[in-house]
Every structure is written in structure tokens, then in C-alpha cells.
Amino acid sequence: MEDRKIRVAITHGDTNGIGYELIFKAFSEPEMLELCTPIIYGSPKIAAYHRKAMDLQANFSIINNATDAQDGRVNMLTCIDGEVKVELGTPTKESGDAALKALDKAMTDFRSQHFDVLVTCPAYAQTMNADNYSYKGLKSYAETSIGEGAKGVKMMINESVRIALATDGLAIKDIAANITIDNILDKVRKLHNSMKRDFRISNPRIAVLALNPNADGTEEKEVLIPAIRKAEEEGIKAYGPYPAEEFFGQNMCDAFDVTLAMYDDQGMIPFTTLMQNDGIFYITSLPLVCTAPALTPDFENAGKGIADENALRHAIYTATDIIRNRAEYDEPLDNPLPKLYHEKRDESEKVRFSIPKKRENPRNDHRQPSQHNAQRFNGQANPAKDNAANAPAKDNAANAPANATAANAPTKEPAASAPAKENVANEQ
């Protein structure tokens, strides 16, 4: 990237929630202004109201255009015309409109390349409706705004895990119909590329969760297993399908760089359980790097000065890391050198991460397990009955299977940024 500070657009979220409190507290640390140049898409009047109500020491510079933003300052961009009544702790149509206007202005400026990354403060989807438009979450909004057929993948990130969603915001009855080979394969490909480009993990491992509790249903046999096979044929290290309860209950997630859950609750519940206070959302595979703290507007505590800003800080850290990683990844690919060697594929991890098949007659079966990937899945497979010895190895050698050496135990490559855990919200 060119030698300048990254410009971070931050939308204020619901104006009756904790958005401005998070912003003021996050940038109370001088180091934040050394990391990036913030452009707050909001309202100077509303910001001043929040500052006074909570008696916060916060300074900002008012600008009328994103191009006027200056380094070393909190730049407040006016994007709301007229007066907006602030009712701290109460979601209203006015506060929802203010959140949507800030997002609209930010997306307009993104198309003009006025900033590098977008971070959104917590909003309340139920009040963010305009004429002929119903807000359905950050992912859907970003896809619609960018256009050109852009499709992202929602990812939840904290200190412990990265969990992506194969389906997002669907009713339970509609989930199975949307679990198709093409959909799963598309998500796995996008996660593979995201791990390499956004997080600089050279050889990412992807876990795919089963849709059914025992991983032995029609969806596993006819959709998930074939999709995983196709991904492996493309050189992607995808494994599964794993029963969700067993996968998280035995900490098998530690052996993988990202996990693909089939629906919201399957990913959200373990994510919330493993969180502390700074989990974030990330919409990957879009031209725009877009993150958000995994928080609600927290109307109950709005204006009380007790909101924890760490999630917003980590959303900013992650966004700036990703934009730098993308630049570093893309630069050598602009003029690639011709490959002068033949790359030999390593098949060893396929066996280590495989799900053993159930033997109908163990007394008569003296054959050694096949290392060929296609043979580990057949009609006799019953992943739900795997024991701990057959689970994927964990990062620490002490937790590896008994027959594995420390050298052979798969280790998890460090992420470019390791945001930790927070109160989560589906509204984003």
C-alpha cells in the first residue's frame, strides 16, 4: 500500500444506542490515531449530545467531505440533514433512519474510493427501513450496495475461532433446501481464498459441520461429502462433515483455521459461548473490507458510560490488518514469475483429519485403512461415533492423539489478527 495511514470509515449505528460511546472511548487512546485515520459518518450535533450526556472528554473535527479528513484527528463527517431527536435507550424510527443514512453515505464514498475499510457500530434492524427497502443485516446491505453480483460470506471471529455461515438469516424450514453442492463448494472456495489473502495463512484447513446431529443424514451423504470431495480435488484442505456438538465439545475446532457452519444458531451458539468481550463480525469475499463489533445497540445501558469499547477496537484492528494483507498478497501476483518446478501434493493430512468409516464385521476385516480421500466416505460412514483418538489433532502437542509425535501434530497457523470475544447480535 502507499505510504499513508489507512482511512477507516465508521458509521455511528443507532443514535439511541451505544455507538458514540464506543467511538469516543476507542479513540481516547492516542495509539489509535497512529494506527489509522478515522472518518465518523454521523452527526456533530448528536455526537455532542452523547458526549455531554456521559461527560466524556472527546474531541472531533467537523468535515463536510471525506476527502477533507486529516491524520491525527477524529474526523466527524456530517451525513444527516436537519435535527434528530435523541432518546437514549429507546429504538425509534428516527434513530433507525439515522443509522441507515450513515451507511448510505459511507457506501457512496466507498464507490468514490474516499476510504479504505468500513467498520459499523451496532444498529437495530427493525427500525432501519426506508421506502421500498427493508434492512436485512450488514451482509445483505453490503452486497446490494456494491452490486455487480458481489456475494460475501458472514464470518464470526474471536480469540478462539473463526466461524463462517453457509446460510444466513434463513428460517429453519428453509435451511435444508439451501444446502446444495454448489452453495457449499462456493463457500469453501471463498473461505480458502479469504484465509490465504485476508489472513495470510498459506495452507488453510477448513472444517465443514454436518447439518444433522449425527452427521448421517441425506444432506451429508448427497451434498456435504460430495462437495468436500470436489474441494479436495481442487487442492483445498476441507474436512468433515463433523457433528457440531462433538466438534465443539471436544475442541476439535482448535485444529482448523476456519469452520463452516450450516446455519446461524449452529455457529452463533458456540461463538457466543467461547467469547469474552471483543468478538467481531467480518463480511469476507467482497471488494470492501467490512467489519463490525459483535454487539447490539444495548439500549438498556445506552448513555450510562459502561459500554466496553474493545470489540470496536478489534473490529478496526482486523479491518486494517486485512487491507494490508490483501495489498501484500496481491502485489507479487501482478507480475508472477513462471513456475520452474512441479509442486508435489502432500496427502498426509487427509488421513489425520479423516472421519473413519464404521466396519460392519471388524473380526474379518484385516485390511489397512486406505489413504485415498474418496474411500473414506461411503454409505457405511458414521462420523458421529468417532472417538477422541480419531478427532483432528490440536495445536498443542500435549493434546495430540497418543500415536502422534509433536512434529506430526497439526498446528494452527496464527491469524493476522486475533480478535477475542463479546456480546453478540444478529442485527449486524
In a domain, 355, yes or no: no
Longest Cα separation, the chain: 81
CA 107/CA 109 separation, integer angstroms: 5
Residue where a domain terminates, one of 332, 367, 402: 332
DSSP 290: E
In a domain, 310, yes or no: yes
Verify that 166 and 143 share a domain, yes or no.
Answer: no
- Which of 2-11, 94-103, 220-229 has the lowest average pLDDT? 2-11
Which residue has better confidence, 122 or 84?
122
User: Would residue 13 be called left, alpha or beta, if left means φ above 0 and alpha means ψ between -120 and 50 degrees?
Assistant: left
pTM score over 0.75 = yes
Verify that 33 and 110 share a domain, yes or no.
Answer: yes
In a domain, 424, yes or no: no
In a domain, 373, yes or no: no
Residue where a domain terminates, one of 297, 332, 367: 332
In a domain, 365, yes or no: no
pLDDT at 424: 43
Helix (H) or strand (E) holding 183: helix 181-197
Please tell me whether the peptide bond between 241 and the residue prior to it is cis, using omega within 30 degrees of 0. yes
Verify that 147 and 165 share a domain, yes or no.
Answer: no
pLDDT at 349: 61
Average pLDDT, integer, range 124-137: 87
Verify that 28 and 145 share a domain, yes or no.
Answer: yes
In this structure, what CATH number is given to the domain that contains residue 84? 3.40.718.10
Residue where a domain terminates, one of 332, 347, 363: 332
Verify that 202 and 87 share a domain, yes or no.
Answer: no
Q: For residue 251, what are the domain limits?
A: 160-274+378-419
Verify that 106 and 249 share a domain, yes or no.
Answer: no
Verify that 309 and 405 share a domain, yes or no.
Answer: no
CA 245/CA 159 separation, integer angstroms: 20
Q: Is the pLDDT of residue 13 over 70?
A: yes
For the beta carbon of residue 339, count every other beta carbon within 10 angstroms. Answer: 7
Verify that 264 and 280 share a domain, yes or no.
Answer: no
Verify that 286 and 270 share a domain, yes or no.
Answer: no
By three-state DSSP, how is residue 42 classified?
Answer: strand
In a domain, 280, yes or no: yes
Helix (H) or strand (E) holding 282: strand 280-284
Verify that 71 and 125 share a domain, yes or no.
Answer: yes
pLDDT at 339: 63
Verify that 45 and 69 share a domain, yes or no.
Answer: yes
Query: Structurally, how many domains does the chain consist of?
Result: 2
Range list of β-strands (E), 193-236 = 205-209
Average pLDDT, integer, range 18-42: 96
Verify that 147 and 266 share a domain, yes or no.
Answer: no
pLDDT at 352: 59
Average pLDDT, integer, range 163-178: 95
**Could you report the per-residue pLDDT of 301-354, keeping only the tens digit for each?**
999 999 999 999 999 999 999 999 999 999 887 776 666 666 555 566 656 566
**Taking a C-beta distance cutoff of 8 angstroms, is the pair 259, 267 a contact?**
yes
User: In terms of DSSP H, where are the helices of 13-158?
Assistant: 19-26, 30-35, 44-53, 93-111, 138-146
Residue with cell 501482478: 334
Pairing of strands 162-165, 129-130: unpaired
Average pLDDT, integer, range 290-300: 96
Q: Is the pLDDT of residue 402 over 70?
A: no
In a domain, 20, yes or no: yes
DSSP string, 320-358: HHHHHHHHHHHGGGSSPPPP-SPPPPP-HHHHHT--PBP
pLDDT at 377: 40
In a domain, 354, yes or no: no
Q: Is the pLDDT of residue 417 over 50?
A: no
